[in-house]
Amino acid sequence: MTTFNAAEQAGNYFQTDTSLAEIERKQQKAANTSGDPVKFPSKILAVSVFDQAGDVVFVAEAGGSASGVRLSTNQRSTTPRGPQAPLTCLAFAGVQSNSVSHIYSGCWDKSIWRYSFQGTTFSDQSSFLAHRDFVKCLLVAPTPDKQQILISGGADGDIRFWSLDGQPVGSIKPGARGIECLVLDPLSSPDSPAVLASTSKQEIFSFSIPALQNIAAHRFELTPPIMAHATSVYKLHFDEDGDLWTASADKTAKHLLRTEGWRVDTTLTHPDFVRDVVTHGRYGWVITACRDENVRVWNMATGDLYHVFTGHYEEVTGLAVTGDLVISVSIDATLRRWSLAPVDLRKAVEEAKNPKLLEQEPEPDVDMGMLTAEEEAELRALMESEEEETLEKIAMDQQ
């Protein structure tokens, strides 16, 4: 018969009380309508702006679907659930042609899923095996011969190149534990487009894309790594000046100056992992997504925190800027939008300083049926496993 001493029993009771308190906190917070939430059937892991007008965004769902939302009407379109595992990332091709466009999404099943759309109407889907572990990031990029290729980064540490119809054309093995983000350098020459990649170790490096027909035989040369963070660099973002902003598991977002060899100019400190970072050049804002459930707005020039948008009740996983809006998505299965227009932002700041008592709103009807209990547990376990590995890496670096 199993016995427990008093300390063990007290610990078990404490954990139970803590868990119940956390559940109650999230249930209470889930009732809020901050950010005009759009609810989805499952957790959201990524968001990207789809059309040139900026009115349509797509999200990658843990339930295995890529879903579009027209922001002006909240009209939604959803792909059939082909993948039986979470989708992690998104990339688009052909959107500017006003004909058939394609959405690519990386998946936990190690595949890339390809969806065809006429406008925002789904027409077809297919998939191809891409990596030895789950796909973490995607990028559609131009080649010097005016073609487009799909580039993928995996948890296996590889970077792979594909034609837009899914045929393999080359790869890079940089020796990383995992590729977290791929982004095109907007100031690189069209004759030698440059891509920056960040890893789960801490490195940021770049490479140039050759002509499509030369990729298979090309010997890629990686630049010496930029070492701006202590551990995983989740996101890379270029601002309108061509400088780089980074989001990391070391609980910071940083501004790296191009003209000074990517020297760190500004560090934005957070209470938890920083999952994403974007900028709004017109108003001079930097916006960050944090694991603590909040979206923060910072003054780009000074690095001062200006406002914190609260509303999500789980980790914020992605951001996108369109017009005067920043769009945020979360593990809480909601997409929310926040206005960055000066008058709206000032109003939000004043309301945060002088909160008013709000009537209790009904708890949102978030149907999580797209994921089974086992799949929900697997999603959480994998995210926690990755976070534990990151924290261990930080501890080792500090010794």
- The token pair that represents 198 in the structure block: 């960040």
Reduced to 3 states (helix: H, G, I; strand: E, B; else coil), residue 47 is strand
| pLDDT score for 392 | 56
Closest to 159 measured CA to CA, from 142, 143, 183, 185: 183
Q: How far is CA 218 from the centre of its chain?
A: 30
pLDDT of residue 124: 87
For residue 90, give the nearest of 132, 52, 43, 57 by alpha carbon. Answer: 57
Q: What is the pLDDT of residue 81?
A: 78
* Burial degree of 228 (CB within 10 A; 0-12, 13-18, 19+): buried
Place of tokens 């679907």: 65
Q: Could you report the per-residue pLDDT of 237-275, keeping only the tens digit for each?
A: 999 999 999 999 999 999 999 999 999 999 999 999 999
d(CA 14, CA 242): 50
DSSP, res 7: H
**Residues with Cβ within 8 Å of residue 345, at least 6 apart in sequence:** 297, 306, 307, 339
pLDDT one digit per residue (tens) for the chain, 399 residues: 444 455 445 445 455 666 777 677 777 778 789 999 999 999 999 999 998 889 999 999 999 999 999 999 999 988 887 899 999 999 999 875 556 789 999 999 999 999 988 766 778 899 999 999 999 999 999 999 999 999 999 999 999 999 999 999 999 999 899 999 999 999 999 999 999 999 999 999 999 999 999 999 999 999 999 999 999 999 999 999 999 999 999 999 999 999 999 999 999 999 999 999 999 999 999 999 999 999 999 999 999 999 999 999 999 999 999 999 999 999 999 999 999 999 999 999 999 988 763 334 444 444 444 555 565 666 666 665 665 565 555 445 444
Q: What is the pTM of this model?
A: 0.87
What integer pLDDT is reported at residue 31 of this predicted model? 77
In degrees rounded to 5, what are phi and psi of residue 187?
-100, 5
